[in-house]
Amino acid sequence: MTRILIVDCQPVVREGLRRIFENEPDLRVCAEAEGAIEGRDAIAAVHPDAVVTDISLKQGDGIDMVRSIRRHHPDLPILVLSSLDESLYAERMLSIGANGYIAKDASSEQIIACMRRVLAGDISVSDAVGRNMFQRAATRKRRTPSNPIERLSTRELQILQLVGKGLSTRESAHSLNLSIKTIESHRQRIKTKLSLRNGTQLVQFAVNMFVADHNVGAGLRA
């Protein structure tokens, strides 16, 4: 029996995933968590065979959580399930240690198939992301980003996400264990890269970008 830890801040998502996994005879959900700190504590307490996590979490985020899991549990399979833009996040999450990335609007069959590939030791992403990764590997260079958001570093994306969740500079610094000055520097670089004139435009952009993450995918409601 494969024991799975689900980390997601939305109870309805956790409930939907539990139902999906436990319809399989060999999969069971051994624990749930809504935040990164709670998720790391659950790993230490119940020793799951795999982790499914979102990027947007309470008490930190999935990016730092994946980094932490990979550092302390190098062989633990990690599947990222998120409604954030796959083209922006999938490769980044793989590069820091995730084994797979799937969108929240995927069907239950797709989620199960993705989980089984991850459990088998394979990397699992959508066909579109796989093609992009292969093309870059073949040409040995990264294409020039057409979307300005792609110019942001992973840390800058983290901070933009926190802005979209309504966190202040001080709260963002506390969440990421960084100084206020560092957060302010990142925010300024984000505004420059996205051609935003002030903090108000930054907040508006971040809220519009991440509002979709509050919608639960059809596959989890089925």
pLDDT in tens, 152-167: 888 888 899 889 888 8
The fraction of the chain above a pLDDT of 90, given in percent, is: 57
Radius of gyration of the chain (CA): 17
φ, ψ for residue 96, nearest 5 deg: -100, 0
Same domain flag for 193 and 112 = no
- Residue 38 shares a structural domain with residue 132: yes
List the CATH number of the domain containing 202: 1.10.10.10
pLDDT at residue number 220: 58
Q: Which of 118, 137, 156 is the last residue of a domain?
A: 137
Considering only residues 49 and 160, tell me which one the structure prediction assigns the higher pLDDT: 49
Assess whether 154 and 45 both reside in one domain: no
CATH number at residue 31: 3.40.50.2300
How high is the pLDDT of residue 216?
46
Q: What is the pLDDT of residues 6-25, one digit of tens each?
A: 999 999 999 999 999 999 99
pTM attached to this predicted model? 0.77
CA distances from 179 to 5, 21, 31, 154 (A): 31, 40, 33, 17
CA angle 5, 9, 10 (to 5 degrees): 100
Mark out the alpha helices in 47-196 (DSSP H runs): 62-72, 86-95, 108-119, 127-139, 154-164, 169-176, 180-193
Question: Among the three residues 74, 102, 137, which one is the final residue of a domain in this structure?
Answer: 137
pLDDT over threshold 70, residue 88: yes
- Beta carbons of 170 and 180 less than 8 angstroms apart: yes
Domain co-membership, 124 together with 163: no
159-173 in b/e form (b: 16+ CB < 10 A) is: bbbbbbbebebeebb
Which of 108, 137, 166 lies at the terminal end of a domain, its last residue? 137
Give me the chain's average pLDDT, please: 87
Range of the domain at 73: 2-137
Domain membership of residue 79 (yes or no) is yes
